[in-house]
Structure 1
Amino acid sequence: MRFSLSRSLPGISAHDEGRAEITRTLPEEVPVAVVYDGTTHAVMMASPGDIADFAYGFALTEGVIDSLDQIEGFEEQCHEAGIEARFWLREDRQEALAARRRFMAGPVGCGLCGIDSLEQANRALPHVGDMSLRLAHREVARATDDLRAAQPLHAKTGATHAAGFLVPGQGIIAVREDIGRHNALDKLIGAMARQGISAADGAFVLTSRLSLELVQKCAMAGCPVLIAVSAPTAHALRLAEGAGITVVAFAREGGFDIYSHPERITSEVTDVA
């Protein structure tokens, strides 16, 4: 069986003028179990699309794998209760898997549910120190508008997040959507890895606030710039500063704030095809 991304359901719209029967298109969410060598590692609520991208991205950002050649097999199994993303890993990844194991069943709003220790919440991150990437002011200012134009599920439901990849001079070349902001970024990272697109060559653009989990995923993927429509947390900024990541927030209506490593954002105009 396959799950639909959305469903039209009846409701009642209530206003000062009265009530009226309506039909709304609403996003679906299903449990997605990520399984490694027969053992469930995590269960996340997610939109039931691009599951392989999500699973690959999750494996990379959680440190279960460092590269795709450490995966010996993958399959997606749909059940009445949800979806299983099943991996078979190289034998040498078992120790890393045990170190990062988490058992989660819960809300998409929390990216740290069920981790084993406080130390894992503040784990050391790779340093994204390459300062060669440059993004022009104009393409950063329009990034979230361009991302919104590439969100068909949000256009239908008004209730999903998205993550996009912005390449200087090319615009946003890849987008993934999900009910959860963490899931959307994992889907994007997985899709890029499977297509051989280097995260070092551009910026992640997000339709959400920036919390530490998103900075962690950005660092694990090796992306030097995060652009978000909303605010960062103070802890996320401390983490980004230490990891060498440029954080751009409140990117909307033609303006934005830069909070760390501003040298990657220039005032020069780069034409975007």
Structure 2
Amino acid sequence: MLAKRKILKVNFRKGKKAEEEDFVAVDKPTNIFVNGNYFVTLMASPRNIRELAIGHLLGQGVINALEDIEHVSIRGKNVNLRTKAEIQLEATKFPKVIPTACGTSEDIIGLLGKSGVLKLAVKFSAENILNAFKSLHSASKVFKKSGGTHAAALFTRDGKLKFCMEDVGRHNAVDKVIGKGLIEGVNFTRSFMISTGRLSADMVIKCARARIPLAASKAAPLESGILAAEMSGLTLVGFVRGSRLNVYTRPRRVKF
């Protein structure tokens, strides 16, 4: 979502300044409730909040599959998800803030929960990964106008775009992609995720819990992200730019 605001645009090289209208990305609070109980507030782009809530709960270990949810209702900025079984939120939820420095093996094991190690033999073409970022750029319409959003997208093994989500937050964009994938019944194990944001431990864990075997970003991974990828069995790819990329973990899944 975009808003227009009056700004003062200054060009020092040309010695010019002018008042203009420009587009800015909109962020609003999204409140997530589970069985009527408050869970978390996410500052996010106010679109696709159903997908955001479902993806976030999977990433946080509150649910393990879409089948765990009985009903989703949305009222304004509030999303309430009713689960089929009673859930003790305090016993199941992860910390609301996962620091980027969270990098010990004990931390990662706790955050991965019962998702287990990805032992999938699927392979992905390096060419398809490179081309995916060209598609991501084309699909990032809000970013082109505002420069204020991150984007994430899911691709099939043969490089076909399933869907792209934009959000002011890199985590939210990934949550929205995972949530939409759950709703549409996508086979995550035959797909790969790409993102414009840094791949830290929490970003990697979201993908691992969804059983996505490869995650790639045009940005650099963090050490915690590499450790999380090693422990979960996920293939982590970074610095995807132009005709080059770096593979940090499980390189056997990438065909060159």
Distance 1:103 1:225, change over 3 A: closer
Do structure 1's residue 234 and structure 2's residue 228 form an aligned pair? Answer: no
Do structure 1's residue 225 and structure 2's residue 214 form an aligned pair? Answer: yes
Contact 2:117 2:231 in 1 (8 A): no
Structure 1 residue matching 2:110: 3-state secondary structure: coil
Structure 2 residue matching 1:138: 3-state secondary structure: helix
Which shifted more, 163-172 or 22-31?
A: 163-172
Structure 1 residue matching 2:182: 3-state secondary structure: helix
CA RMSD of aligned residues (A): 2.0
Alignment map for 1:150-165 (pairs within 5 Å): 150-165=139-154
Report the CA distance between 1:178 and its aligned residue.
0.4
Distance 1:265 1:120, change over 3 A: closer
Alignment map for 1:33-112 (pairs within 5 Å): 33-78=31-76, 83-92=77-86, 94-95=87-88, 97-101=89-93
Distance 1:34 1:121, change over 3 A: farther
Report the CA distance between 1:27 and its aligned residue.
0.7
Contact 1:112 1:121 in 2 (8 A): no
CA deviations over 1:179-222 (Å, ceiling 9, x no partner): 00000000000000000002111111001111111011011111
Report the CA distance between 1:122 and its aligned residue.
5.6
Report the CA distance between 1:31 and its aligned residue.
0.5
Letter of the 2:208 counterpart: A
Distance 1:103 1:138, change over 3 A: closer
Q: How many residues align?
A: 248
Q: Paired residue for 2:3?
A: 7
Report the CA distance between 1:102 and its aligned residue.
6.4
For 2:243 and 2:141, how far apart are their aligned partners in 1?
22
Unaligned runs of 5+ in 2: 101-105
Letter of the 1:98 counterpart: E
Q: Sequence identity of aligned pairs in percent?
A: 27
Q: Paired residue for 1:252?
A: 241
For 2:95 and 2:98, how far apart are their aligned partners in 1?
12
Contact 1:204 1:226 in 2 (8 A): yes
Moved over 6 A (4+): none
Distance 1:259 1:121, change over 3 A: closer
CA deviations over 1:80-116 (Å, ceiling 9, x no partner): xxx1011112234x13x22234685xxxxx6559xxx
Structure 2 residue matching 1:91: 3-state secondary structure: coil
Q: Normalising to structure 1: TM-score of the pair?
A: 0.85
Contact 1:43 1:103 in 2 (8 A): no
Contact 1:37 1:89 in 2 (8 A): yes
